[in-house]
Amino acid sequence: MRYYALCAFILAGSTVLSGGSAQADERAIGAVDPRIGTGGAGHTYPGASVPFGMVQLSPDTAMTDFRHSYAWAAGYQYGDPTIMGFSHTHFTGAGHSDLGDVLVMPIAGDVRLEPGDAAVPGSGYRSRFRHATEVEKPGYYAVTLDDYGVRAELTAGKRVGWHRYAFPQGKPAHVLLDLRPSIYDYPGKVSWARLHVGADGTVSGCRMTRGWAPGRVLCFAMRFSQPMTARTLYNRETNVPYRGFKGPGYQPVDHDAQNGRALEAVFDFEALKAPLLVKTAISPVSEANAIDNLTREGAGWDFDARHAQAQAAWEHALSVIDVQGTPGQRTQFYTALYHVMLAPTLSMDANGDYRGPDYEVHKADGFDFYSTWSTWDVYRAQQPLLAILRPDLGAQFVRSLVVSAQDSPFGLLPVWAYQGLETWCMIGYHAVPIIADAYLAGVRGFDADAALKAMVRSATYGPYGDLADYMKIGYVPIDKEAEGASKTLEYAYDDWALARMARAMGKTAIADEFERRSRNWRHVWDSKTGFMRARTTDGQFHTPFNPAAAAYGSDYTEGNAWQYSWYVPQDVPGLITAMGGREKFTAKIDALFDARVDPAIFRNVEDISGLIGWYAHGNEPDHHVAYLYDYAGQPWKTQQRLTQIMQTQYALRPDGLAGNDDLGQMSAWYIFTALGFYPVAPASREYAVGRPFVSKAVVHLGNGHAFTVTADNLDDAHPYVGAVTLNGHPLPRFFLQQKDVLAGGELHFVMQATPQTK
């Protein structure tokens, strides 16, 4: 994804159990490693959360200037030597970023008020740490802060983050709260903040930031298991000539409240004989709602019980698929499934309040409101996977998308939204295929007519991405709108998905119109060069043309002509014909994978990574390409390329991901591919068959049925499919109908050493 993209999985070694469903759950959660994707690429966080939870409580090793922040999009880099604190909100696998709200740091001894330099120990409040002291599990994180001798443990609920800090004996204990830093930081990012200590010791406040979603408000409420012996509230802003008159106290220690743009606080507890517990609730709406969230969901002080609840939530979530395979295969599989289930995130208070894209407060009536929508990424595989695994959640997701459009001042579905607010990052109107795929997969529990209305509105709003010209002349002219080739291709696919849902609903006129629009991909096909190309308003192809060229704001979105010329998932047979037939089509895919490419050519487009020739697995536009051999009658080449991708783009290391996880999309690609099939065109009700990478998987579908994948002779020496059957009958072609998967049954592969070319 723009300024961000890739894939991830997760683990925390655990004893492998066998037997019934409860044991299978424990086996799944024990095969998750949150460290994978935390270093190099991946951009995942190792901290504590629950499935799709509002709180992501995780360590931050850096919150640096936005111009140098790509590597710290999740706040954490595995190679960093220090931790600057634990904040309560994070993206998983993003490249562009924000959040890092409510940063907390436990301190034993002297307190410093600045983070300091990671290369200079003792220069600030950050602390050195060692990976040997870290424990990462779903719903739990622990580490020892070496400079303070503090053992920190974190767990989480839906809206509350729980901390447990064991301080060394004999040293005064402090908790520092810093409301100044953010992930993707810069001077002036905090527009305003307030901080208050209530008579009962509850600390609460809000801050507004002008980051990726300008004007975002995040509020919090915090309580401690021990009474404070003192507290000091600071406004550290120094570059304002006039800040009004002083409050009722003259010193920071006198204040019960502070307002400003650089707020910080230190809470003192002297020497403690027992660990200090901290519980923090957040709200995207108000301070009062944060306190209410904390009261409703943060009762008591039993950290271990809260940890057990988080673990049980993950055991239940991950039990939707039971997988057999080698320990490494299981670790990658369940780590990927874990990352699939981190986003979108709950963005609604316990009383039903949520903040919409109009910045107003709305009430969710009969559903949970979810946000954190990277639609350009997740429509491809992550949402199609959840639509069959968790149709109950799928209905909540669709309702969230539709009410976002109804609340939007533009009437548009989310493009890249979080905490209810829109960023307008990336291209297309890909909430459309998310909704269409869910509907066609049988997800119900939402107003289909209201959804279709929002879909049509998003696809016909002329000012968005020059849809006006697209609707008028059939393509997006590059002299009026950057990335015109990519936008034309992606709009055409979205139109097709809209038509599919409209047809299924009996809306013939709408279906006919958008089916016509779905053929607009032909307007950017250049038969002379054999590539998709941008055109100018007068109909000419944009020149000069170099199919290898890639740059942000060019003819293509995070890619070049080699990578985007395959993007016609809705009409692969038409693309094969345009490219001159099956032999020329497959020869060109071969050329894509086999080219010798210097990665330095993409040094200015950080999202293009994971190169195999021109194929870039670390970014989304290529994700379906390996499966296209199936459509040309050469499935053995799909099997060959999938083996190549899985062996080179995924590894059991912190830097083992080729790009960003992109809120679960890269991980969902792994899950589908490991199972042996993939949704090349979501909303098609069809999967292309590849090859399996696990010997057995039982998929517990959300409709109550189970679909089982088994494989004989599965090892490195047998990478090709010799035979495949569905419920004991030979599969007539290398495609699965979604209805056959949803009905339950068994897909069985027999693997062999050599390609089956007949």
Residue 251 confidence (pLDDT): 73
For residues 173-193, average pLDDT: 96
Quick one: pLDDT at residue 23? 42
Cis status of the peptide bond prior to 181, with omega within 30 of 0: no
Q: How far is CA 528 from the centre of its chain?
A: 39
- Over residues 308-323, the mean pLDDT reads 98
The answer to whether residue 24 scores a pLDDT higher than 70 is no
Q: What is the pLDDT of residue 26?
A: 64
- The two tokens of residue 131 are 């990976």
* Residue 25 scores a pLDDT above 70: no
pLDDT exceeds cutoff 90 at 270: no
525-526 and 531-532 strand pairing:
antiparallel
Report how far residue 551's alpha carbon sits from residue 393's, in angstroms, rounded to the nearest whole number. Answer: 37
Q: What mean pLDDT do residues 345-361 have?
A: 98
pLDDT surpassing 50 at residue 17: no
* Confidence bin at 739 (pLDDT 50/70/90): very high
| pTM passes above 0.85 | yes
The encoded tokens of residue 195 equal 């901080």
Alpha-carbon dihedral 124, 126, 128, 130, rounded to 10 degrees: 180
Rounded to an integer, the average pLDDT of 437-458 is: 98
pLDDT on residue 250: 65
- Looking at residue 246, what is its pLDDT? 73
Taking residues 281-285, report their average pLDDT: 98
**In the numeric block, which tokens belong to residue 458?**
């998003």
Q: Are the C-beta atoms of residues 237 and 263 closer than 8 Å to each other?
A: no
Give mean pLDDT, residues 439-443: 98
DSSP string over 307-346 = HHHHHHHHHHHHTTEEEES-HHHHHHHHHHHHHHTS-SEE
In this structure, of 248-252, 267-271, 373-377, 481-485, the range with the lowest mean pLDDT score is 248-252
Structure tokens at 312: 């049980």
Whether residue 9 is predicted with pLDDT greater than 70 in this model: the reply is no
In a 13 Å sphere around the CA of 401, the CA atoms on its Cβ side amount to 35
* Of the listed ranges 249-263, 470-484, 698-712, the one predicted with least confidence: 249-263
Mean pLDDT of the chain: 94
Q: Cα-atom radius of gyration of the chain, to the nearest Å?
A: 26
Q: What pLDDT is recorded for position 4?
A: 31
Q: For 37-56, how does the pLDDT look when each residue is reduced to its tens digit (9 = 90+)?
A: 998 788 999 999 999 999 99
pLDDT at 1 over 60: no
pLDDT over threshold 60, residue 13? no
pLDDT for the residue numbered 358: 98
**Which of 306, 305, 326, 308 lies closest to 316 in space, CA to CA?**
308
- The per-residue pLDDT for 247 is 73
Query: Residue 243 pLDDT more than 90?
Result: no
pLDDT over threshold 50, residue 11: no
Q: Identify the weakest region by mean pLDDT among 238-247, 340-349, 526-535.
A: 238-247
- What residues pair up with 219 in beta bridges, in sequence order? 206, 283
The pLDDT tens digits of the residues spanning 126-175 come to 999 999 999 999 999 999 999 999 999 999 999 999 999 999 999 999 99
Alpha-carbon gap, residue 307 to 303, rounded angstroms: 6
Q: What is the pLDDT of residues 576-626, one digit of tens each?
A: 999 999 999 999 999 999 999 999 999 889 889 999 999 999 999 999 999
CA distance 131 to 725: 46
DSSP, residue by residue, 620-651: GGGTTGGGHHHHTT-HHHHHHHHHHHHHHHB-
Q: What is the pLDDT of residues 77-86, one digit of tens each?
A: 999 999 999 9
Closest CA to 693 of 620, 751, 745: 751
For 205-237, write each residue's pLDDT tens digit. Answer: 999 999 999 999 999 999 999 999 999 999 999
In the structure, what pLDDT confidence band is assigned to residue 19 with cuts at 50, 70 and 90? very low
pLDDT of 245: 75
Q: Which residues contact 530 (CB under 8 A, 6 or more apart)?
A: 565, 579, 588
Q: Beta strands 615-616 and 140-145: pairing type?
A: unpaired
- Distance, in Å, from the CA atom of 324 to the CA atom of 178, rounded to the nearest integer, reads 45
Inform me whether the pLDDT recorded for 403 exceeds 70.
Answer: yes
Q: What is residue 24's three-state secondary structure?
A: helix
> Would you place residue 64 in the very low, low, confident or very high pLDDT band (cuts 50, 70, 90)?
confident
Query: Tokens at residue 585, please?
Result: 């089509």
- The whole-number average pLDDT for the span 695-712 is 98
Which pLDDT does position 14 carry in this prediction? 28
The answer to whether residue 33 scores a pLDDT higher than 80 is yes
